[in-house]
Amino acid sequence: MRLPEFWSQCLALLQSELSEQQFSRDIAPITVGERHGAWVLFAKTQFAANLLRTQYAQKIREAAALVAPDAPELLFQAGVGERVAMAQVPADAPINAASSVNVNNDRGSLKTANGSQVQTETETAPASEPTPSPARNKSAQDILAERMSNLRTDKKTNETQPESQTTTAKPSAIAAEQAREAAEQRLNQTNLSPDYTFETLVEGKGNQLAANVAKSIAEKPGDSMYNPFFVYGSTGLGKTHLVQAIGNELLRLNSKAKVRYMHSDEYLKTFMATVRNKTWDTFKQQYLHYNLLIIDDIQFISGKDRTMEEFFFLFEHFHSRDQQIILTCDQLPSSLEDMDKRLVSRFSWGMTIRLEPPELEMRVDILERKAQAAGIMLEEDAATFIAQNVKQNVRELEGALNRVIARCRFSKASTIDIDLATDALQDIVASNYKPITVELIMKAVADHYHISIRDILGKKRSRNLARPRQIAMAITKELTNLSLPAIGDAFGGRDHTTVMHAVKTIAKLRLEEPELKQDYEKLLIVIQH
């Protein structure tokens, strides 16, 4: 099934599920497109896209499962795609007449009297008084047909509902509308994404200290120890997620708090407009009342003298009144070229923390969470493989996973295994090729068991050292062309019989101990990729 046909029939189904106001306001304006093997539903604004993810994603995916169970992954993004008209049931067609419906199970289409098609799953009941049907389990086709046939009758039924029934639905509709308006107002006031929270933040060695400080700031903003909070690191490490999580957590703890997140580009544009229009008082006042001000990528104001001067006075105002400032940057304050020296010194007054690239365990955790959110089973070996080949940042890691998921959808597989991941990322694997050496093997084993290479080369025979040493020898024998005497020399001048004993011992233990077998296979993946 093509995307336009798919979404056209989803629209018809969703119209029967949602209120007229919800459908016309939030669903009807959606446009569609394809990206990297996935189907994308485009909303006009970022807020509208976030609303789709939080409020409508479940209903949309339920409708999608009925219309096309094998459809590619659905993504929700801000942008503009192709507009699709909703599938219509002709007015002259006896919608509820079973005699006028022809079910095609292969294509899943419903033919009306004049030959037009609407996606369906089974026959509908006659328009007259319904008669009990034989007891059977309803298929997805049954459910969809019923809903499609009731697109009109549901509306008529609603008009004749008793007052008690119609009034009970109003409070929930009003509450939903109020919640939507509140979310929209919050976004306009704060510019915070609701997706960036501490709950969705994956913590590891590279960001653990920063995450702990961030949580402290959310509980007590303006603390001089952490004001300003300066977070730096290369792109794609999660700086934006971390600092926005502070704002969202502060608002959760104190709904009356005044929070604003902005990229330095927004600050620059606002300042330039102020210069053109000479609205200095308005410019100053719009920032002074915030309890928390977050500015992303502060390095972009470097070299802009008037902007830096104005920001200096804003910084002084915030800091002197214990109002929290949070800044992100791609480098240390002292490394910022063309930045006002007064600002450089003040950026270092509070807490300065660097975000490190995520370690292997953290990358695996991120992949497993993302795969779970996408409804895809990701085998541990496959996750380790992806994490080992994509090391630099979280953004690239997520991009690699999306490629693998797209390949999984295309192959109509339900699980991502090592073979599928290898096939999807073969270009990345090729670019990461490295020769396998004894030193490389020793380092991988040492890192895995949290020991040092010196321990592997040493003479101590305690179990926590001897077993990793034997594993390293066995892997060296498997992955290199070195002879047993050469391996023994590389491992601290040991005899070739020691190496032979290690190889045999590990081979035997891999059959007897599942945990050791798993460690061994994981190390093979890490070392080779």
141: phi then psi, degrees, rounded to nearest 5: -65, -40
Torsion sign, CA atoms 161, 163, 164, 165: positive
Copy the structure tokens of residue 250. 């502060």
pLDDT tens digits in sequence order for the chain, 529 residues long = 888 888 888 898 888 888 877 888 889 899 999 887 788 999 887 767 777 887 788 888 888 888 888 788 888 888 888 888 887 644 443 333 333 333 333 333 333 333 444 443 333 344 444 444 444 455 444 555 555 555 444 444 444 444 444 444 456 666 666 666 666 666 677 889 888 999 888 888 888 899 999 999 999 998 878 999 999 988 888 899 999 999 999 999 998 899 999 998 888 888 888 888 887 777 777 777 888 999 999 999 999 998 898 899 889 988 888 899 999 998 999 888 889 999 999 998 999 999 988 888 888 988 988 888 888 899 988 999 898 888 778 888 888 898 899 888 888 888 899 888 888 888 777 666 667 899 999 999 999 999 999 999 998 888 889 999 999 999 999 999 899 999 999 999 999 999 999 999 999 999 999 899 988 988 988 887 6
Report whether 451 contacts 435 (CB < 8 A).
no
Beta partners for residue 75, in sequence order: 40
Specify the pLDDT at position 174: 67
Name the CATH code of domain 438-528 (choices 3.90.230.10, 1.10.1750.10, 1.10.3720.10, 3.90.1200.10). Answer: 1.10.1750.10
Report whether 471 contacts 445 (CB < 8 A).
yes
Name the CATH code of domain 360-428 (choices 3.30.70.790, 1.10.8.60, 3.40.47.10, 3.40.50.11710). Answer: 1.10.8.60
Specify the pLDDT at position 190: 85
Inter-helix orientation angle 438-449/514-528, to 10°? 130
Report whether 149 contacts 141 (CB < 8 A).
no
- Give the global pTM: 0.50
CATH topology of domain 3-78: GMP Synthetase; Chain A, domain 3 (3.30.300)
CATH architecture for residues 208-354:
3-Layer(aba) Sandwich (3.40)
Name the residue among 184, 189, 110, 172 with its Cα closest to residue 142: 110
Q: What is the domain partition of the chain in residue ranges?
A: 3-78, 98-158, 160-190, 208-354, 360-428, 438-528
Specify the pLDDT at position 133: 44
Number of C-alpha atoms within 13 angstroms, CB side, residue 170? 6
Q: Which residue has the tokens 């119609």?
A: 166
Name the residue among 339, 345, 263 with its Cα closest to residue 308: 339
- Asked if 3-78 and 438-528 have one fold, the answer is no
Torsion sign, CA atoms 58, 64, 67, 70: negative
Amino acid at 32: V
Beta partners for residue 329, in sequence order: 232
